[in-house]
């Protein structure tokens, strides 16, 4: 809270300097020739966004830009006022990971009026024509991978290449529950729809059973991707449906939610040996540790260092009057237009390949893990 107030105060102070005609920039925005770029991230409560912010800043600074990096701690008005502050300080471009992709229309109009290009970072910004490009991952594929990995962990699929029930536990029936992300994040729909493209046929055929009956995204969503919300919902589901039955698998779209789900299951008496198969996303250190401890089964690795490079390249290209590279011009309709996008590739991580994908690539530090 204190940090948030300090940050808001800093933005206000910078705005006051502009209004009073004094130097419009802080010392750190004076040095580079490239000018100031505003980078707006949703929250520091998840390690992935901290890494994202650091990578974007480093990449921009390496190219001679100065950076105003702000975190809005999942508060929409804070994000809007931070963006306004960046425009007031003279940002030449904005790179934005939105908290609520539908709430930035006015501030993006102000950006457009000032000819400031906008890159949507990881999360699509909706309902605005003033989004120039979108840098993200193949989000539908993330969902497909999460469901596939869940089924491999449960033994319903023989391997990550399976497309039908061909594993040792193919017959079922197995009990699963579904968790989705925040409904104000466009990605939540892509992850859920990708996952359900794999799970729904098996629910229809009776191999998988969702005892709670909660299978619509509206029923299984988790506002602001909050792990405590997912934990509470799982507690209620366990009390209501699993007093005398066992849960075998949980689809979870984000490591922070998976950790909440695991906490609820452990409280209800599940142990390392009896926990259901649980998936996740983001390869957060705490969840890689959980995997090594035999709790979470898998996660999805999205190399945010690469995403940062793509987003920065887009912004720099626009500022240089060039066309950014894209590889998708059809998938991401934001309600006003299809936003030209560059989609990076996500990877399934289990204890079998985490070293190669996460440690050897330097994404996480082995010293931060307690190895079994």
Residues that bind ligand BGC (CB under 6 A): 46, 48, 122-123, 181, 185, 187, 225, 254, 281-282, 302
**Between residues 181 and 260, which has the closer beta carbon with respect to ligand BGC?**
181
State the minimum distance, in angstroms, from the CB of residue 141 to ligand BGC. 12
Tell me the closest approach of the beta carbon of residue 308 to ligand BGC, in angstroms.
13
Q: How far is the CB of 100 from ligand BGC (least distance, A)?
A: 11
The CB density around residue 67, as the number of other CB atoms within 10 Å, is 23
Residues in Cβ contact with 255 at an 8 Å cutoff, skipping those fewer than 6 apart: 280, 281, 282, 283, 284, 286, 287, 296, 299
DSSP letters, 199-231, are HHHHHHTTSEE-TT---SHHHH--GGG-HHHHH
Determine contact, residues 70/86, Cβ cutoff 8 Å: yes
Q: Is the dihedral of CA 260, 261, 266, 269 positive or negative?
A: positive
- Nearest approach, Cβ of residue 92 and ligand BGC (Å): 26
User: Which lies closer to ligand BGC via its Cβ, residue 99 or residue 199?
Assistant: 99
Using CB positions, name the residue nearest to ligand BGC.
254
**Least distance from C-beta 185 to ligand BGC, angstroms?**
5
We find the least distance from the C-beta atom of residue 302 to ligand BGC, in angstroms, to be 6
Alpha-carbon gap, residue 226 to 99, rounded angstroms: 12
Residue 132 token pair: 């120039």
Residue 177 vs 303, nearer CB to ligand BGC: 303
Residue 238 or 261: the one with the smaller Cβ distance to ligand BGC is: 261
Nearer of residues 81 and 281 to ligand BGC, judged by Cβ: 281
Q: Which is nearer to ligand BGC, 7 or 302 (CB)?
A: 302
Which parts of the chain fold into alpha helices (H)?
2-19, 47-62, 76-88, 105-113, 139-154, 186-204, 217-220, 227-241, 255-267, 285-292, 304-319, 354
């Amino acid at each position: 809270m204190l940090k948030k107030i300090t940050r808001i105060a800093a933005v206000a102070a910078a705005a006051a300097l502009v209004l009073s005609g004094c130097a419009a920039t802080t010392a750190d925005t004076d040095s580079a020739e490239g000018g100031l770029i505003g980078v707006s991230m949703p929250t520091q409560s998840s390690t992935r966004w901290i890494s994202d912010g650091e990578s974007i800043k480093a990449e921009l600074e390496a190219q001679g830009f100065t950076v105003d990096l702000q975190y809005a701690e999942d508060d929409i008005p804070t994000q809007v006022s931070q963006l306004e502050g960046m425009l007031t300080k003279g940002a030449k471009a904005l790179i934005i990971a939105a908290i609520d992709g539908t709430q930035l229309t006015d501030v993006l109009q102000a950006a457009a009026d000032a000819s400031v290009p906008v890159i949507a970072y990881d999360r699509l910004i909706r309902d605005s024509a003033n989004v120039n490009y979108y840098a993200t991952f193949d989000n539908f594929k993330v969902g497909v991978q999460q469901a596939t990995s869940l089924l491999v962990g449960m033994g319903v699929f023989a391997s990550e290449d399976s497309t039908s029930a061909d594993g040792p536990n193919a017959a079922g029936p197995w009990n699963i529950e579904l968790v989705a992300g925040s409904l104000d994040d466009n990605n939540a729909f892509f992850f859920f729809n990708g996952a359900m493209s794999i799970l729904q046929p098996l629910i229809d055929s009776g191999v998988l059973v969702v005892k709670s009956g909660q299978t619509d995204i509206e029923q299984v969503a988790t506002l602001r991707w909050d792990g405590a919300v997912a934990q509470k919902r799982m507690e209620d589901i366990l009390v209501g449906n699993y007093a005398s039955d066992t849960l075998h698998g949980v689809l979870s779209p984000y490591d922070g939610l998976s950790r909440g789900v695991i906490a609820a299951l452990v409280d209800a008496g599940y142990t390392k040996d009896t926990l259901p198969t649980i998936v996740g996303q983001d390869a957060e250190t705490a969840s890689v540790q959980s995997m090594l401890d035999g709790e979470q089964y898998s996660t999805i690795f999205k190399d945010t260092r690469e995403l940062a490079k793509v987003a920065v390249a887009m912004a720099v290209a626009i500022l240089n009057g060039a066309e950014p590279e894209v590889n998708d011009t059809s998938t991401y309709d934001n309600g006003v237009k299809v936003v030209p996008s560059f989609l990076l590739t996500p990877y399934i991580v289990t204890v079998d390949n985490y070293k190669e994908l996460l440690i050897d690539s330097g994404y996480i530090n082995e010293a931060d893990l307690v190895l079994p």
